[in-house]
Amino acid sequence: MKKADIGVGIGLLFLCIWLFWYVGRYRPVEVYFYGPDFFPRVLSVVMMILGLALILNALAGNSLKKTETIDPRGFIRMLISIGICMGYLFLMKILGFASATFIFLFILMSFLKQRGIIIRILSSLITSIVVWTIFRYFLIIPLPEGVFF
């Protein structure tokens, strides 16, 4: 497990360095004190610190001794869930944020075997409307609009 922790820590460091550099290319907005790169850079610094902590923890000998195996069924479910998320991104461009989010949440809850179709429909609908309302009226951030709204 020590080698795995060191490898993941090094990979995380490279990812964070790349992320820190990449978000620096965002166009600055003159209206705000913090630009659009501020929060992603804060997250990348926090992840760098955690990656270093993982490496130092492994070098100090505090890694877990036993590795757990990955359940193939769980791995396949994870891949399908990622596929559903990617489909959501493409669907959002066509149907817009609110409609695509409703469909995405309903399909994902159905796939993950959430009980009760009424609960799935209502929670998908309420979540979509609440998030859309927050972004549209409180944060004043435009979301993708599609065929319906």
What type of residue sits at position 129? I
CA distance 55 to 61: 10
Neighbours of 109 (CB within 10 A): 18
The per-residue pLDDT for range 50-105, each reduced to its tens digit, is 999 988 888 888 777 776 777 788 889 889 889 988 998 888 888 888 888 999 99
pLDDT for 4 beyond 90: no
Kindly list the domain boundaries of the chain, sorted by start residue: 2-59, 72-138
Q: Mean pLDDT lowest for which of 8-22, 42-56, 63-77, 118-132?
A: 63-77
CA atoms within 13 A on the CB side of 131: 15
Provide the greatest CA pair distance for the chain.
57
pLDDT for 28 beyond 90: no
Q: How confident is the model at residue 139 (pLDDT cuts 50, 70, 90)?
A: confident
Tokens of 80: 């399908």
| Residue-level pLDDT at 47 | 93
pLDDT for 31 beyond 70: no
146 close to 89: Cβ distance less than 8 angstroms? no
CA 58 to centroid of chain Cα atoms:
27
Q: How confident is the model at residue 17 (pLDDT cuts 50, 70, 90)?
A: very high
